[in-house]
Amino acid sequence: MPKGYWVSVYRTISDPEKLAAYTKLAGPAVRAGGGRLLSRGGRVVAHDAGIAEFTVLIEFDSFEQALAARESEAYQEALATLADGVERDFRIVEGLD
């Protein structure tokens, strides 16, 4: 069964306090949903039209698990604290196997 991945790239962080509150709630919500943090804000080297931005990568055992974790009540609560504190590109991606 293909794994699922959350890929979140932060274009701007306008309210670091909202991001901190989100992170405090999102971490436990992601772990409860079966997610494993692989990268958070590490070094990024961008190529072609890419931009080196703050990036978060989370792995789940399946694509369906990644979808369910995003819709969970706990993660929705975390999202509510983030509100307009950032501009980000959030994707859920299916792995190859």
pLDDT over 70 percentage in the chain: 100
Prediction pTM value: 0.92
Segment 25-52 shows an average pLDDT of 94
Q: Answer yes or no: are the C-beta atoms of 45 and 52 closer than 8 Å.
A: yes
Is it the case that residue 50 has pLDDT exceeding 90? Answer: no
SS3 for 55? strand
Question: Model confidence at 4, in pLDDT bands (50, 70, 90)?
Answer: very high
From CA 87, how far away is CA 9, in angstroms rounded? 9
DSSP H stretches of helix in 1-97: 16-32, 63-71, 73-82
- Domain span including residue 39: 4-94
12-29 residue pLDDT tens = 999 999 999 999 999 999
Number of domains present in the structure of the chain: 1
Q: What is the CATH number of the domain that holds 35?
A: 3.30.70.100
